[in-house]
Each structure stands twice: as structure tokens, then as C-alpha cells.
Copies of this chain bind each other. A is one copy, B any other.
Amino acid sequence: MVIDAMTEQECAALLTRVSLGRLGCSFDDQPYVVPISFAYEPGYIYALSTFGQKIEWMRQNPKVCLEVEEAASESEWITVIATGTYQELTEPQYSAELAHARKILGKRRNWWQIPLAERQAAGEDLVSPLFFRIHIDSITGLRASH
């Protein structure tokens, strides 16, 4: 098995193709990693969530990380790690970006189920999801092959 670094273009292609990743945030030096459904556009990752621990933490510390994988076998896989800054898409500052996020995330089937179901599991009333984006600061990727 050989592992090579991926080009930025190859990393962007994976982020375009795959819509499930893991979001890492951190507060008071405690990291926290959760699965997340997202939509990528050059420079940004768009996602949504109901209010909870990760939103609370990202409001206090906007530095975040997104990890995405695609594996054909144990020895043929690619993984991309993007680091960036959390931006909550609130009115009126981000009206245009919020409309854009609703549009591109709305194209995905079941995009709204995970965060709302999480909230239901917590026994709380349904609330509107919060939309946010990650302004990407860096992207790196590794490819394993025979």
C-alpha cells in the first residue's frame, strides 16, 4: 500500500461527491466529533443543526475541522481534512448566504432528518434548524492505493 498526498483539486472533488463527514469542534481544550451532512462549494462548507452542544461550542470557539472519507477497501481509500471558521448564517447579516444554504442543502434527500430527529430524541419540541457555514482555511488529503 502506498499513500500519497492529494492535490487541492482532488480534495475538492471528494468534498463535492460525498455529503457525510465528521465535524470536530472544541471547547476548553475538549474536542468533540459528530457525524454531519454537508454541501461543499469552493471556499465553504454549508450545514445545518438544531441548537445543542456543537452549536454552543462553535459559537464560543469558531475554529472547526471537517473530516471526510471514501473507501473501496482497506488499502484503497481517500481521506480529506478541512480546517476553517464557523459562521452562523443569521439575519440580517447573512440573508443572502442563508437563502443560498437553504437552496443547496434542500436539494439533498433527508437533509433535515438527522438534526430534527436528534432534537426529538432529546425529548424537546421541534424548533427551526440553524444554518451555518465553515469558511475553509486549509484542505489536505491522502490517497491510499496498491
Chain A residues with CB under 8 Å of chain B are: 1-5, 22-26, 29-35, 61, 63-67, 69, 74-75, 79, 81, 83, 109-110, 113-114, 117-118, 120-121, 142, 144
Contacts and interface: CB of A to CB of B under 8 A. Distances in A.
Specify how many copies of this chain sit in the oligomer.
Answer: 2
A3 B118 contact: yes
A31 B22 contact: no
B35 A120 contact: no
Nearest to A62: B29
B35 A24 contact: no
Contact of A63 (B23, B31, B34, B109): B31
Contact of A67 (B35, B64, B114): B35
A69 B35 contact: yes
